[in-house]
Structure 1
Amino acid sequence: MKRLSEAASRQPLSDLTHPAGEVFETLRMYEGRVFRAEEHVDRLYESARTGGVRTRLARSRVKAQLSRFAGDCGRRNGLVRIMLGEKGLKLVSVPGRRYSPNCYKRGVCLRTSVMKRSGARFLLSRMKSKDCLTGVMASSERSSKDIFDTLLLTNEGHVGEGTTSNVFIVKGGVIVTPPLWEGILDGVTRRAVMELASREGLKVREDVLLRHDLYNADEGFLTNTSMEIMPVSYVDGRRIGRAAPGPVTRRLRHAFKSVVASL
């Protein structure tokens, strides 16, 4: 396994490049404890198999190396990037992205992308590799600094996901998120939030979402490793619900923080 120096091992995610034949995962570390490490490593190997990346490293060894790496980081908060390729394993500690407290207090603004996920990317969307051109190009569509992210649509015009996040709405007390068969990433935080919702006695389901559903939702939020649960206040200039975050989003954020505190 390649370990980087302290200076080199703490760098912005945007500075990290991924050569061909390499897959990666980004994990959240809370005071030196990694959130859902096993699920991330499992998805890393699924991406490797899908992408035809050959490795002789056993899954158990990667998990052990990750645990040791996190321990060496001490009680640090931030992100860990795992990169697996034919040349071996690399682990890099990077600072977590800092989101303004106002994002969580007031919600963020989104816009839908004019680009659509092509059929050729359906398989690739389930793996994390260097092939993220659609997301990068969609990110460049942000016409204003007030736009937090862009939402990708499927060829059928259904809502897919954000450039680096999964999307949820709440309507009539029911939490809805696009199904995996729409070609979205099986986000680890997405999965955790769905489990939390069920544990909290909330109704949650996977279903096709149209922009109409977004515009008329009671609440909306995004999930990913870095931001956790981010409330959405506007989509394409339409106000989402009466206020963000809504009661369901607040409840989920509280439950998520409780899970993190118990790590």
Structure 2
Amino acid sequence: MKVFFNGRLIERSECAVDIEDRGYQFGDGVYEVIRIYNGSFYTLNEHIARFFKSAAEIGIDLPFSEAELKGELKELIEANQVQDGGLYLQATRGKAPRKHQYEAGLTPQVTAYTFPIQKPEKEQQHGVSVITADDLRWLRCDIKSLNLLYNVMIKQKASEASSFEAILIRDGVVTEGTSSNVYAVKQNVIYTHPATNLILNGITRMKLLELFAKNGWQHKEKAITKDELLSADEVFISSTTAEVIPVTVIDGQKVGTGTPGPLTKEVQKAMQNSILSETAKPV
């Protein structure tokens, strides 16, 4: 399998990172996960724009333009002949003697590789159970950084509870999932946390907001409480790899009827149409 490593396409077996790479030692870097359908990227422009924004937020100066990077990534999926799957893209600040502060002029280490994704069709059709947990992450969740330890800990807790995801609660209000954005439907109005420093503004979230407006679905970027979440008529989550998944049980309590709701199903259809429109090959 080919990987993109510091401007070159090389075999995965040839890819090596120094032991003093700051991403390895400090989580000092940023990343993106991009979905591939029918041999084409979905929302590539949006992902790359956020990648550059995240890098700029932490002071990493990437050694190429957005256009150059997109060209390299397209070469990568062609080299690996990927029709359906995902691409992981990461930039670290680079290697340096281990200390918290760093000198100017470090060379970023940039890596990308493709990987298979099993579409969560069962979960999309039938819905999933989730748990809630305290949101104890740092206050710059808007940066898609490599610092995911708390997310990992809580996602594992959800897995051990036979749940698909954990929804995080900060100061009594719902922020997001460990690896997803969260939406609650009440009286046909869709609520989701506004795009502040307390959540990652997911690319799928941004696409869904466009689809809500396009389809005339009432929606508000407004924080809701845990009690409001538990009393919602419908709840769903979104992410690049999960797309749109209904939540039918929260902390052992049914959401609405305990089955995927009608508006959630309409959102799923709109999402699939969006994916097809962007990635379908001409006949």
- Residue in 1 aligned with 2:110? 89
- Residue in 2 aligned with 1:43? 50
Alignment partner of 1:179 is 2:194? yes
Segments of 5+ residues of structure 1 without an aligned counterpart are: 10-16
Alignment partner of 1:168 is 2:168? no
Q: Residue 196 of structure 2: SS of its match in structure 1?
A: helix
- Residue in 2 aligned with 1:127? 143
* Bigger-Rg structure (1/2): 2
Higher mean alpha-carbon deviation, 21-30 vs 81-90, is at: 81-90
Quote the Cα distance in structure 2 between the aligned partners of 1:212 and 1:50: 34
1:83·1:91 contact (CA, 8 Å) conserved in 2?
A: yes
User: Are residues 67 and 219 of structure 1, via their aligned partners in 2, closer, same or farther at CA, if it must alter by over 3 Å?
Assistant: same
- Residue in 2 aligned with 1:23? 30
**Identity of matched residues, %:** 27
Q: Residue 157 of structure 2: SS of its match in structure 1?
A: coil
- Residue in 2 aligned with 1:5? 11
- 1:189-215 per-residue CA deviation (whole Å, 9 max, x = no partner) reads 011111111111111111111111111
1:111 positional shift: 0.8
User: Are residues 4 and 147 of structure 1, via their aligned partners in 2, closer, same or farther at CA, if it must alter by over 3 Å?
Assistant: farther
- Residue in 2 aligned with 1:204? 219
- Residue in 1 aligned with 2:125? 105
Alignment equivalent of 1:237, drawn from 234, 248, 252: 252
1:53 positional shift: 1.8
Q: Residue 11 of structure 2: SS of its match in structure 1?
A: coil
Residue type matched to 1:3 in 2?
A: L
User: Are residues 73 and 239 of structure 1, via their aligned partners in 2, closer, same or farther at CA, if it must alter by over 3 Å?
Assistant: same
- Residue in 2 aligned with 1:65? 72
Quote the Cα distance in structure 2 between the aligned partners of 1:228 and 1:199: 18
Alignment partner of 1:56 is 2:83? no
1:83 positional shift: 1.4
- Residue in 1 aligned with 2:83? 76
- 1:103-162 per-residue CA deviation (whole Å, 9 max, x = no partner) reads 12221111111x3235xx112x111222112211212322745211111122x1211111
Alignment equivalent of 1:226, drawn from 241, 247, 250: 241
1:97 positional shift: 4.2
1:31·1:74 contact (CA, 8 Å) conserved in 2?
A: no
- Residue in 2 aligned with 1:255? 270
1:105·1:244 contact (CA, 8 Å) conserved in 2?
A: no
Quote the Cα distance in structure 2 between the aligned partners of 1:231 and 1:65: 35
Residue type matched to 1:122 in 2?
A: L
Higher mean alpha-carbon deviation, 227-236 vs 75-84, is at: 75-84
Quote the Cα distance in structure 2 between the aligned partners of 1:93 and 1:8: 16
Cα root mean square deviation, aligned: 2.2
Higher mean alpha-carbon deviation, 160-169 vs 176-185, is at: 176-185
Quote the Cα distance in structure 2 between the aligned partners of 1:182 and 1:6: 35
1:73 positional shift: 3.7
Alignment equivalent of 2:136, drawn from 94, 114, 117: 117
2:142·2:197 contact (CA, 8 Å) conserved in 1?
A: no
Quote the Cα distance in structure 1 between the aligned partners of 2:132 and 2:14: 36
Quote the Cα distance in structure 2 between the aligned partners of 1:256 and 1:97: 17
Aligned residues: 250
Q: Residue 151 of structure 2: SS of its match in structure 1?
A: helix
Quote the Cα distance in structure 2 between the aligned partners of 1:62 and 1:234: 41
